[in-house]
Chain A
Amino acid sequence: ETVMTQSPATLSVSPGERATLSCRASQSISRNLAWYQQRPGQAPRLLIYGASTRAAGISDNFSGSGSGTQFTLTISSLQPEDFAVYYCKQYNRWPWTFGQGTRMEIE
């Protein structure tokens, strides 16, 4: 199983600031990585797939990068609605696995 490790577990950022979230895979997953946002009480929402392609309707405030084992999600200017939990997920091989999440908090 491919283990996904996200860091940090919690990130405290002020609105308007930039945030960088990291995700590391225990083995190479090429660019077969997606990022999801989950707000309290809601299902996850697809943000990024293919490591860097934004899903339909996703603001260009979100960008993804990386390949192999190291990936990054960048939120260029945090909006109030961006304070949520973010998960990376690999779909390179079964079982598809998620990281444990990074919680974005308002500083």
Chain B
Amino acid sequence: EVQLVESGGGLIQPGGSLRLSCAVSGFTVSSYYMSWVRQTPGKGPEWVSVFYTDDYTHFADSVKGRFTVSRDNSKNTLYLQMNSLRVEDTAVYYCARDAFNSNYGWDVWGKGTTVTVSS
């Protein structure tokens, strides 16, 4: 079964760091473009980052320089390292698979993990 399972969220103080994981099953994470998308309750989703199959990455301006993405092929897992966290980073974070490796859209999503940045 094709599945994405996020973990690693929690309550963190401003300025802190968290690493989110996205465990992939049913396909090989290195074979697909993978994105992180976040969403605050009642708001539209916000794209955060994309990790291409050639290891190229791109980030939203709001997180550039603070967040990085990586991939462990042996664990078939995608990661989002979040540093210098801000209150406005509070959201549910989803990982998502690009349906066609073409940027057209994400066909598989995880259930999300909640990050709360608060003092």
Contacts and interface: CB of A to CB of B under 8 A. Distances in A.
Of A49, A56, A96, most B-chain CB atoms within 10 Å: A96
Contacts of B47: 89, 95-98
Given A95-B60, A95-B61, A46 B106 contact: yes
A107 to B, nearest CB: 22
A29 to B, nearest CB: 12
Nearest to B95: A43
* Contact-residue size bin, chain A (C-beta under 8 Å from the other chain): 20 to 34
A55 B107 contact: yes
A89 B61 CA distance: 17
Interface residues of B, number: 21
B110 A100 contact: no
Given A46-B99, A49-B104, A50-B104, A98 B44 contact: yes
B65 interface: no
A44 B109 contact: yes
A97 B58 CA distance: 14
Contact of A34 (B44, B105, B112): B105
Contacts of A95: 47, 60-61
Nearest to B64: A95
Interface string A22-49: 0000000000101010000001111001
A23 B67 CA distance: 30
A99 interface: yes
Interface string A68-95: 0000000000000000000101010011
* Top 3 closest pairs, chain A to chain B, by CB: A43-B109, A49-B104, A34-B105
